[in-house]
Amino acid sequence: MLEGLHSAAAGMAAQQQRLDAVANDLANANTTGYKHQRVGFRDLVYDQTGRSSAQGVRTGSGAAAVDAGRAFAQGTLQRTDRTLDVAIQGEGFLRVRLADGRDALTRDGGLHIDGNRRLTTSTGAIVQPAITVPEGVGEDQVSIGPDGTVLAAGNRIGRLDVVTVRSEAGLLSVGNNAFVTTAASGAAIAAPRATTLTQGALESSNTDMAEAMVSMIESQRAYQLTSKAISTADEMMGIANQVKR
Amino acid sequence: MDRGLYIAASGMLAEQIRQDQIANDLANASTPGYKADRTSQRSFNDLLLANSATGATVGPQSTAVQVDRIVTDFSGRPLRDTGEPLDFGISGDGFFAVQTAQGVRYTRNGQFALDTQGRLVTASGDPVLGPNNQPITANADGTVNPRLIGVFNVTNPVKQGDSLVSGTAAGAATGTVQSGMLESSGADPARSMVDMISSMRAFEAGQKVIQTIDETLGKAATQVGSVSS
């Protein structure tokens, strides 16, 4: 009786999930290389309703949120003039190895030199293949070309490998600006030629503040409206209970 | 007389189903390409009452009410701009075709992605089909030409959940596909709220009818023929 209670609850849960995603997007409005989440919705199964309806009358059972991966639209480039900052323009990721040994992909190009003189990201993930900056070469003597070639005081010491995957939406976000490949994304392959690197710049987050705010308002109102369906169903059950006084 | 009890109860049951349908509409207020439902009720066959003494007809009397069918309004809704290259909306009539494990299904929810083979797929991973029922492959830069996506007329569409409808394709439709757009949900919160209130009040009226008949029966049982009063 009154399946609508559950349909409405499912709808509220879906809105809540979107709100969580929007909150995460807003919290990362200034995170280098952050890609905002794409949340969708779908309706749930339609079932034959109980008594007092003709055959073939079916009501739905609510809605669910769908994770459609990240939106990999390019974020705007921010000039930093730091020699170890590098922004990716176009499709692609830097290959890095995380502290736990997993290979990952990132668009956060704020690089550093670690204790072993290797290039790492700001979270300590080591750039793959490893690039070692010779002793005595300062940060400001490193130059990174549009194709990823890294020069230290004029000598070539390696190349930043820019890769991509067939299905970016299938990448799994593991935090620290890093993504790992999954069966749904496919293995890493070379990035298209059009992708270039820009030294002295960082890619800003692609969270669109205005859009996130609108999503937030819409979610909240939809949540509120759906909750009314629950209170109405509750009231109706109260009425039914009072049939016998 | 006590027939009224059952008629009122059937009305209350029908309102419950309507309430379920409204709750589903509200829950899908944000689902792209969702199509709103409307519950239609009809009375059971009328019964011709006759005066048992004289045989004169009294008139028809309804025996109950039931939910006859739930009608889905498949008309198009405005597209809203999302800026995502893999969001598609149909402006005008028609459906996207999707190859699912159960056969070809149709949808107006154009929130798509690419799979590992570079094909355009739905959020559940089912390939979206072109005009000749072939899967659609993305360009090297990850975009898809909206003109490659098939738009079909579907006769007798029936909602299946997961944003899909089943039905029979009947040739290409007149609608055009636009990228970076999603169709808004067909659920109209204002209408749903009004329907919800009227449904709840009809339910309440049914309860009052039952209570009144119960009171009448109670009087008949306790007061008619009582010597004391």
State how far the Cα of B87 lies from the Cα of A73, in Å rounded to an integer: 13
What does the pLDDT average to over B187-192?
93
Check A59 against B70: CB less than 8 A apart: yes
Check B20 against A40: CB less than 8 A apart: no
Tokens 């204790």, located at residue: A115
CB contact, 8 Å: A210 with chain B? no
What does the pLDDT average to over B163-185?
93
The percent of residues in chain B predicted with pLDDT above 90, rounded, is: 67
Q: Considering only CA atoms, which of A49, A50, A73 is closest in space to residue A60?
A: A49
Is the model's pLDDT at A54 over the cut of 80? no
State how far the Cα of A121 lies from the Cα of A95, in Å rounded to an integer: 10
Is the model's pLDDT at A121 over the cut of 60? yes
Neighbouring CB atoms inside 10 A of B131's CB total 15
Q: What are phi and psi of A44, to 5 degrees?
A: -100, 180
State how far the Cα of B15 lies from the Cα of A50, in Å rounded to an integer: 12
**Quick one: pLDDT band at residue A102, thresholds 50, 70, 90?**
very high
Burial B4-32 (b: 16+ CB within 10 A, else e): eeebbbbbbbbbbbbbbbbbbbbbbbbbb
Q: Considering only CA atoms, which of A175, A144, A147 is closest in space to residue A157?
A: A144
Q: Which residues share a beta bridge with B61?
A: B47
Is the model's pLDDT at B229 over the cut of 70? no
**Quick one: pLDDT band at residue A50, thresholds 50, 70, 90?**
low
Residue B117, min C-alpha distance to chain A (Å) = 7
Tokens 């990035």, located at residue: A191
Residues of A in contact with B114 (CB under 8 A): 166-169
Is the model's pLDDT at A92 over the cut of 90? yes
What does the pLDDT average to over B164-188?
93
Q: What is the mean pLDDT of chain B?
A: 91
Nearest C-alpha in B relative to A47: B160
What does the pLDDT average to over A117-125?
92
Cα Rg of chain A, angstroms: 25
**Quick one: pLDDT band at residue A2, thresholds 50, 70, 90?**
confident
Q: What is the pTM (predicted TM-score) of this model?
A: 0.86
Judging by DSSP bridges, how do beta strands A189-190 and A58-60 pair with one another?
A: unpaired
Residue A97: predicted pLDDT: 94
**Quick one: pLDDT band at residue A51, thresholds 50, 70, 90?**
low
Is the model's pLDDT at A221 over the cut of 90? yes
The residues in B 142-171 lying below 8 A from A, measured between CB atoms, are 142, 159-163
* Among the partner residues B12, B24, B163, nearest to A59 by beta-carbon distance: B24
3-state secondary structure chain B: CCHHHHHHHHHHHHHHHHHHHHHHHHHCCCCCCCCCEEEEEEECCCEEEECCCCCCEEEEECCCEEEEEEEECCCCCCEEECCCCCEEEEECCCEEEEEECCEEEEECCCECEECCCCEEECCCCCEEECCCCCECECCCCCCCCHHHCCCEEEEEEEEEECCEEEEEEEEECCCEEEECEEECCCCCHHHHHHHHHHHHHHHHHHHHHHHHHHHHHHHHHHCCCCCCC
CB contact, 8 Å: B140 with chain A? yes
Find the range with the poorest average confidence among A119-123, A210-214, B39-43, B143-147. Answer: B39-43
Our CA dihedral for B97, B100, B102, B108, rounded to 10 degrees, sits at -40
Check A8 against B160: CB less than 8 A apart: no
ipTM: 0.83
Is the model's pLDDT at A179 over the cut of 60? yes
Is the model's pLDDT at A55 over the cut of 90? no
The residues in B 92-121 lying below 8 A from A, measured between CB atoms, are 109, 111, 113-118
The answer to whether the CB of B89 falls within 8 A of the CB of B177 is: yes
Residue B225, min C-alpha distance to chain A (Å) = 25
| Neighbouring residues of A16: CB distance < 8 A, sequence distance ≥ 6 | A219, A223
Residue A168: predicted pLDDT: 86
State how far the Cα of A127 lies from the Cα of A110, in Å rounded to an integer: 11
The answer to whether the CB of B107 falls within 8 A of the CB of B122 is: yes
State how far the Cα of B224 lies from the Cα of B135, in Å rounded to an integer: 78
Nearest C-alpha in B relative to A45: B161
The answer to whether the CB of A95 falls within 8 A of the CB of A163 is: yes
Is the model's pLDDT at A5 over the cut of 80? yes
Interface test with A, best of B12, B18, B31, B156 (most A CBs within 10 A): B31
| Neighbouring residues of A51: CB distance < 8 A, sequence distance ≥ 6 | B13
Find the range with the poorest average confidence among A47-56, B28-37, B125-134, B219-228. Answer: A47-56
H/E stretch holding A112 reads: strand A112-113
**Quick one: pLDDT band at residue A76, thresholds 50, 70, 90?**
very high
Judging by DSSP bridges, how do beta strands A58-60 and A46-48 pair with one another?
A: antiparallel
Angle at CA of residue B157, ends B154 and B159, nearest 5°: 140
State how far the Cα of A68 lies from the Cα of A20, in Å rounded to an integer: 14
What does the pLDDT average to over A49-67?
82
Is the model's pLDDT at A1 over the cut of 70? no
What does the pLDDT average to over A161-177?
90
* Among the partner residues B66, B113, B140, nearest to A54 by beta-carbon distance: B66
Check B114 against A168: CB less than 8 A apart: yes
Residue B48: predicted pLDDT: 84
What does the pLDDT average to over A189-205?
93
Angle at CA of residue A98, ends A171 and A200, nearest 5°: 85
Domain borders along chain B are: 3-74+187-222, 79-183
Residues of A in contact with B140 (CB under 8 A): 192
Is the model's pLDDT at B26 over the cut of 60? yes
3-state secondary structure of A73: coil
CB contact, 8 Å: A194 with chain B? yes
Residue B68: predicted pLDDT: 86
Beta strands (DSSP E) in A140-185 are: 142-144, 149-152, 155-159, 162-164, 172-175, 178-180
Residue B62: predicted pLDDT: 81
Check B21 against A5: CB less than 8 A apart: no
The percent of residues in chain B predicted with pLDDT above 70, rounded, is: 99
Is the model's pLDDT at B203 over the cut of 90? yes
* Among the partner residues A10, A56, A240, nearest to B12 by beta-carbon distance: A240
Check B84 against A38: CB less than 8 A apart: yes
Residue B178: predicted pLDDT: 94
What size, in residues, is chain B?
229
The residues in B 30-69 lying below 8 A from A, measured between CB atoms, are 30-32, 34, 37, 64-69
Is the model's pLDDT at A165 over the cut of 70? yes
The answer to whether the CB of B89 falls within 8 A of the CB of B182 is: yes
